[in-house]
């Protein structure tokens, strides 16, 4: 990857790098976004929300009749949001030196605000399909929906210009707009009898042949090329919400850290669900999560 490493989106290259060594080549970037109906926000006299407080207020104002203000999935958002609100608060799941990244009062402040969607009754729950499908948004059941980049072509076909996309909005003075990103990757088995040939092939396809990389990203679904230069040149990603999505993924993207294990995810997600849906104390819930995740990180670091 000499000479091109800096061209890969750092958010997706990071989890495929350990102790300075790259063990997988990112192929494409997927991301999630907040879709909103321009006409509904304009009718309500609202600007697209750029802070979490503004999102809470907008969801409440846009709720009326058979339309809810926001759809975060049928579980209320605990499953799909994950660590996104923490990054929006200026925090992270795991720090660069492998410690818990959200042992901070800002975490409780931000996660506590998510319960307001429930108390305001502004969340769509029990939709015919879940967050990954844009049907609820397209059918007018919700004014805003958190969904994936993959939904954008369908939304554009059915709504034309009457929609926009946003990152998850920042919260607090140290906050930042945030989108989660993930990437398929190509790797070579360390146990292979043909490691050198396999490594040459991976380099040929996923480093050298940028034309194949761009074709793979946009001809078999709707993804962002993992190389920043390719994402900026892709014709289908140059205008409108698609161009916004590329910018968000490049400027505001984060990926789950390499050391974030299923055990840590379960502890955090269960607590997040209780905070969002039941109004559980975020301070108390997070104290327990920090303890569990810290122990899990110690275990992983000892075994690696």
Q: Which domains, and CATH codes, for the chain?
A: 1-230+247-304 (3.40.190.10)
State mean pLDDT over 199-223. Answer: 93
Q: What is the mean pLDDT of the chain?
A: 95
pLDDT digits (tens, 9 = 90+) for 252-274: 999 999 999 999 999 999 999 99
Quote the pTM value: 0.92
User: Residue 304 pLDDT more than 80?
Assistant: no
Pairwise CA distance, residues 297 & 282, whole Å: 21
State mean pLDDT over 194-205. Answer: 95
Identify each DSSP E strand in 126-186 by its residue range. Answer: 144-148, 164-166, 179-186
Of residues 89 and 15, more confidently modeled: 89
pLDDT confidence bin for 208, thresholds 50/70/90: very high
User: Residue 220 pLDDT more than 90?
Assistant: no
Pairwise CA distance, residues 71 & 131, whole Å: 7
pLDDT digits (tens, 9 = 90+) for 144-198: 999 999 999 999 999 999 999 999 999 999 999 999 999 889 999 999 999 999 9
User: Residue 2 pLDDT more than 80?
Assistant: no
With a pLDDT cut of 90, the percent of the chain lying above it is: 88
What angle (nearest 5°) sits at the alpha carbon of residue 5, between those of residues 3 and 10? 155
- 159, 38 in Cβ contact below 8 A? no
Q: Residue 275 class from Cβ within 10 Å (0-12 exposed, 13-18 middle, 19+ buried)?
A: buried
pLDDT for position 221: 87
pLDDT for position 302: 87
pLDDT digits (tens, 9 = 90+) for 285-298: 999 999 999 999 99
In sequence order, what are the beta bridge partners of 178?
168
Query: Helix 262-278 vs helix 282-303: angle between axes, to the nearest 10 degrees?
Result: 170
* Backbone dihedral angles phi then psi of residue 4, each to the nearest 5 degrees: -125, -5
Query: Which of 181, 178, 182 lies closest to 85, judged by CA?
Result: 178
State mean pLDDT over 226-233. Answer: 91
In sequence order, what are the beta bridge partners of 186?
25
In sequence order, what are the beta bridge partners of 35?
145, 165
pLDDT for position 149: 96
And the tokens for 285? Answer: 């819930």
Q: Residues near 17 by Cβ (< 8 Å), separated by ≥ 6?
A: 23, 258
Structural element, H or E, at residue 270: helix 262-278
Rounded to a whole number of angstroms, the CA Rg of the chain reads 20
And the tokens for 91? Answer: 């925090």
Pairwise CA distance, residues 291 & 99, whole Å: 11
pLDDT for position 3: 83
pLDDT for position 303: 78
pLDDT digits (tens, 9 = 90+) for 53-97: 999 999 999 999 999 999 999 999 999 999 999 999 999 999 999
Length of the chain: 304
């Amino acid at each position: 990857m000499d000479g091109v490493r800096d061209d890969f989106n750092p958010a997706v290259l990071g989890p495929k790098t350990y102790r300075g060594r790259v063990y997988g080549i990112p192929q494409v970037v997927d991301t999630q976004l907040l879709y909103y109906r321009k006409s509904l926000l304009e009718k309500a006299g609202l600007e697209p929300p750029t802070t979490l407080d503004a999102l809470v207020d907008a969801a409440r104002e846009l709720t009326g009749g058979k339309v809810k203000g926001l759809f975060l999935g049928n579980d209320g958002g605990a499953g799909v949001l994950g660590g996104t609100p923490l990054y929006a608060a200026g925090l992270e799941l795991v720090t660069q030196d492998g410690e818990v990244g959200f042992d901070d009062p800002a975490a409780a402040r931000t996660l506590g605000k998510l319960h307001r969607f429930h108390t305001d009754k502004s969340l769509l729950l029990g939709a015919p399909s879940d967050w990954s499908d844009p049907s609820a948004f397209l059918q007018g059941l919700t004014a805003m929906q958190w969904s994936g980049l993959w939904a954008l072509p369908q939304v554009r076909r059915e709504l034309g210009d009457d929609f926009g996309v946003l990152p998850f909005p920042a919260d607090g003075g140290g906050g930042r707009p945030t989108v989660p990103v993930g990437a398929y990757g190509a790797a070579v088995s360390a146990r292979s009898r043909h490691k050198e040939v396999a490594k040459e092939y991976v380099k040929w396809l996923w480093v050298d042949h940028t034309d194949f990389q761009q074709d793979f990203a946009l001809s078999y679904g709707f993804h962002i090329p993992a190389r920043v230069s390719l994402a900026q040149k892709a014709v289908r990603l140059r205008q409108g919400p698609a161009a916004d999505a590329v910018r968000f993924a490049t400027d505001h993207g984060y990926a789950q850290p390499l050391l974030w294990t299923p055990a840590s995810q379960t502890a955090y997600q269960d607590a997040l669900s209780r905070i969002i849906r039941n109004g559980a104390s975020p301070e108390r819930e997070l104290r327990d999560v920090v303890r569990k995740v810290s122990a899990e990180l110690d275990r992983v670091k000892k075994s690696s």
